[in-house]
Amino acid sequence: MFRKTIFNDIIEKIKLKEENMEAKLKYKAKKIKIVFFDIDDTLRVKNTGFIPESIKVVFKQLREKGILTGIASGRGIFGVVPEIRALDPDFFVTLNGAYVENRKGEVIAKTVIPQECVESYIAWTKEAGIDYGLVGSHEAALSVRNPMISSAIDIIYPDLAVNPDFYKDHEIYQMWTFENVGDSLQLPEDLASALRLVRWHEHSSDVVPTEGSKAAGVAKVAEHLGLKPENVLVFGDELNDLELFDYAGISIAMGISHKKLQEKADFITKTVEEDGIFYALEELGMVEKELNFPQVNPEAVEGSVAKIKTNHGDLKIKLFPEQAPKTVANFIALSKNGYYDGVIFHRVIKDFMIQGGDPTGTGMGGESIYGERFEDEFSPELYNIRGALSMANAGPNTNGSQFFIVQNSSLPYSTKELTRGGWPEPIAEIYASKGGTPHLDRRHTVFGQLVDEASYEVLDKIAAVETASMDKPLEDVVIETIEVIDE
């Protein structure tokens, strides 16, 4: 018992530390004024060019919040693909920090490799029997073209010209090696004092000034803006992001990042395909999911439809499993198992709602498929507007089998009043024009919506039946069966 208690205390301390670290990171996020993104396998998948739609949302929301954005890439400005340029970032830190522009094309900083150094590098490549590339601010050239070089460079810069003398009439900011040597490749001592290798491909390394890095370029932007490192957040995935991760206030590694980078990261997010950037920024409270409101046009939403067949007509309802997965699964399973067959609407209140789903017909019974009461699923996308299908309960997290359909058709509130009260404008408009029960929001799980006028007519017909004590209809309103149609 004593050992178990000590073990539990240790586990709790670890959990507390994790929670504190998370809280600390979210606190640090409040100081962020600019976010820099690598391109390949960060903003886009290098091999396919895929960019998730969530990236557009990220740039839009950061801009709306007054947070600047920047690209920090080993690519040159001429290698920034149109889709990335269309995001309209505020700054471009390119060529591993050697050339920095703002969105207007104005040069913020640049580090030119001296021509004598370029010539010494070219002489060394010839001695070493390897090929090279030369990179200017807005174009580049190769010493030669062969299949190995094409396989390495064309995915980044297709159709580069062959011009071994490119340096004679262009400023050079970066160079490349092309070889089969791999990580064992080393510059000679005289070059290593001015240049260093940054591996980016199995057949190529970037050759950059010794003090050059993405971090140096980002620091120039921060200095230009009067910002500190604590105001900078960066995303990356490869070894040329190492110095950047050391510099920035917050560093986030993509899900497929190099192991060494992950070790330096403050947070490791998901992959590009999994919307990793949006996920990380949402966790930090810097962006929010753009809400969709399926009740505005339920017929256009993909998903299952439940047809509640009653002795007063049919109620056709679109279900919303994306927003309330556990609740919808419970309702569908009970419906398909015939659980609701022959069950009455035991509580009917005109200008409020109709309630059923209790096999005992008393409002005191009913069980879920989970064998116990289950938790609420409150979605910011679903509300108790007229025609909403919601779970009845006896308090928080007490859902079973009972449900109700909102029938109220009028409210004494305007759209403006409801919007000021915190309801999203599209929902406020529906409440104001068609009615509902907004006081039940976040108290009852909404998981479906009537989809056609015929169903609303049946709803109103049931709501108008004569009732006795406890709002129970004098003549039973019976659910004959519930048919679930997968669309």
User: Looking at the annotation, which residues are catalytic?
Assistant: 38
CA distances from 180 to 129, 144, 149, 457 (A): 11, 15, 10, 75
Q: State the Cα–Cα distance between residues 319 and 484, nearest whole angstrom.
A: 10
Residues 6+ apart with CB under 8 A from 52: 272, 273, 275, 278
Q: State the Cα–Cα distance between residues 92 and 87, nearest whole angstrom.
A: 12
Tokens standing for 405? 């359909």
DSSP 432-479: HHH-B-GGGTTTS-EEEEE-SHHHHHHHHHHHTS-B-GGG-BSS--EE
Burial of 424 (0-12, 13-18, 19+ CB in 10 A): middle
For the chain, give me the number of helices (H) and strands (E)? 14, 23
At 342, is the secondary structure helix, strand, or coil? Answer: coil
CB 251 within 8 A of CB 236: yes
CB 407 within 8 A of CB 463: yes
CB 94 within 8 A of CB 76: yes
Tokens standing for 192? 């290593």
**Helices 276-283 and 54-64, axial angle in degrees (round to 10):** 40
CB 362 within 8 A of CB 312: no
Provide the 10 A C-beta neighbour count for residue 485: 9
How far is C-alpha 315 from the geometric centre of its chain's CA atoms? 36
At 245, is the secondary structure helix, strand, or coil? Answer: helix
DSSP state of 316: E
- What residues form DSSP beta bridges with 354? 348, 405
Q: State the Cα–Cα distance between residues 114 and 171, nearest whole angstrom.
A: 8
∠ at Cα 147 (144, 151), nearest 5°? 105
How far is C-alpha 27 from the geometric centre of its chain's CA atoms? 20
Place of tokens 């240790």: 10
Q: State the Cα–Cα distance between residues 318 and 60, nearest whole angstrom.
A: 32
- Residue type for position 445: T
Q: To which H or E segment does residue 108 belong?
A: strand 107-110
70: closest CA among 248, 201, 283? 248
